[in-house]
Amino acid sequence: MVKDGKERYGVRSVVVGAKLLSVLSSRNGAMSLTELAHAADMAPAKAHRYLVGFMESGLISQSDMNGRYDLGPLALDLGLASIRRLDVVEIAYPIMVAMRDETNETTSLAVWGNRGATLVRWVPSNVACPLKSGPP
């Protein structure tokens, strides 16, 4: 892999095994070895070797009842940690600016709290607001 003009070296097997995790995360439930290997475009024997390692780490679990594979407890921990670190206000800001620029209207972001909606960020319109002088 080349990044910023420098070649970076990594562990290729991590990239290959990540296909299995990606497939499992994109599905709504557990999968058989055959289904999983086919969806990840790898031989079942190869997929099984990766799955054994992932099960040892807790990234994947296997049902004792039907042998199907699913995301494990470590996958849940990683997902929750990622959500905790997600700053939705910062992610929303460029979208809010684009909406403001497209509509020439003020945009705002609110979240629902225990007392109702709470404004957490706003982007004012670019249109100048004329001041009125005197009574209408």
Tokens of 87: 């700053």
> Strand (E) positions, the chain?
2-3, 6-7, 60-62, 69-71, 107-113, 116-123
The rounded distance, in Å, linking the Cα atoms of 82 and 26 is: 17
Domain 2-83 bears CATH identifier 1.25.40.10? no
Per-residue pLDDT of the chain (136 residues; tens, 9 = 90+): 556 667 777 788 899 999 999 999 999 999 999 999 999 999 999 999 999 999 999 999 999 999 999 999 999 999 999 999 999 999 999 999 999 999 999 999 999 989 999 999 999 998 766 665 555 5
**Residues 33/39/43/49 CA torsion (nearest 10 deg):** -50
> Strand (E) positions, 5-136?
6-7, 60-62, 69-71, 107-113, 116-123
Q: Are 71 and 60 in contact (CB under 8 A)?
A: yes
For the chain, which residues make up each domain, given as ranges? 2-83, 87-123
